[in-house]
Amino acid sequence: DAKTTQPPSMDCAEGRAANLPCNHSTISGNEYVYWYRQIHSQGPQYIIHGLKNNETNEMASLIITEDRKSSTLILPHATLRDTAVYYCIVMPGNTPLVFGKGTRLSVIA
């Protein structure tokens, strides 16, 4: 019953931009796109979220397509500490978040 589709794993060279895709073709108008990441043996960490517009904060940028059926999380200059599992979540507001399997990003020196 997953609402999102993410590649199971990706590699990225240190210092390069990491672009993590997420497909959510059945997204509804009131559903947000959230991104979290989980470093091994730690709790997940909030990265960013968006509804319709592209968003940027100190950690990352979120690009949402105009039809909202897919999005991309961009880490502009990946470091080894960005190695983690990245979760893309689509949920309505005021609803507990349901995590899928995510994308395991490996940043390589």
d(CA 95, CA 83): 28
d(CA 5, CA 22): 6
Interface map 47-86 toward another protein (x if CB under 8 A) = --x-x-----------------------------------
Rounded to the nearest 10°, the torsion over CA 25, 3, 9, 101 is 180
User: Binding residue for another protein (CB under 8 A) from 3, 36, 62, 84?
Assistant: 36
102 binds another protein (CB under 8 A): yes
Q: What is the CA radius of gyration of the chain?
A: 13
Residues touching another protein, count (CB under 8 A): 23
Task: Give the binding range for another protein (CB under 8 A) out of 3-11, 13-21, 68-76, 88-96.
Answer: 88-96
